[in-house]
Amino acid sequence: SAVISQKPSRDICQRGTSLTIQCQVDSQVTMMFWYRQQPGQSLTLIATANQGSEATYESGFVIDKFPISRPNLTFSTLTVSNMSPEDSSIYLCSVEVWGEGYTFGSGTRLTVV
């Protein structure tokens, strides 16, 4: 199975600022997935990041708000831009391990004040 290192684990940010979340995988993967988990809710897919191409965003999520980078097959970043209190959530990255489901990072707990 894959091991994902995600950081920061938590942050408190001022509204209007941006935060970049990093995920490092210990093996090469084609796709990395970014999820949001709002308080008391389940996980919602934000976007799928492929190396060498633009990320694919789900309905309700746009690149200007959540720009994603995928410079190589083991690393990706998600930026939460121009933050508001409504962006307070846990953000998680994930990769699929064939036949073994998906492995998730430990999450980034974001609080916007």
Partner 1 sequence: SQKIEQNSEALNIQEGKTATLTCNYTNYSPAYLQWYRQDPGRGPVFLLLIRENEKEKRKERLKVTFDTTLKQSLFHITASQPADSATYLCALDIYSGAGSYQLTFGKGTKLSVIP
Residues in contact with partner 1 by the rule CB under 8 A: 1, 6, 31, 33, 41-45, 48, 92, 94, 96-97, 99-107, 109
Three-class SS of residue 67?
coil
Q: How far is the CB of 16 from partner 1 (least distance, A)?
A: 27
| Angle value at C-alpha 56, between 54 and 58, nearest 5 degrees | 155
Q: Of 35 and 112, which has the nearer Cβ to partner 1? A: 35
Neighbours of 70 (CB within 10 A): 20
Tokens of 110: 């974001």
Q: How far is the CB of 28 from partner 1 (least distance, A)?
A: 17
Q: How far is the CB of 82 from partner 1 (least distance, A)?
A: 26
Q: Of 16 and 58, which has the nearer Cβ to partner 1? A: 58
Q: Of 14 and 53, which has the nearer Cβ to partner 1? A: 53
6 near 106, Cβ under 8 Å?
Answer: yes
Q: Of 39 and 84, which has the nearer Cβ to partner 1? A: 39
Report the alpha-carbon distance of residue 17 to residue 21 in Å, rounded.
13
11 near 108, Cβ under 8 Å?
Answer: yes
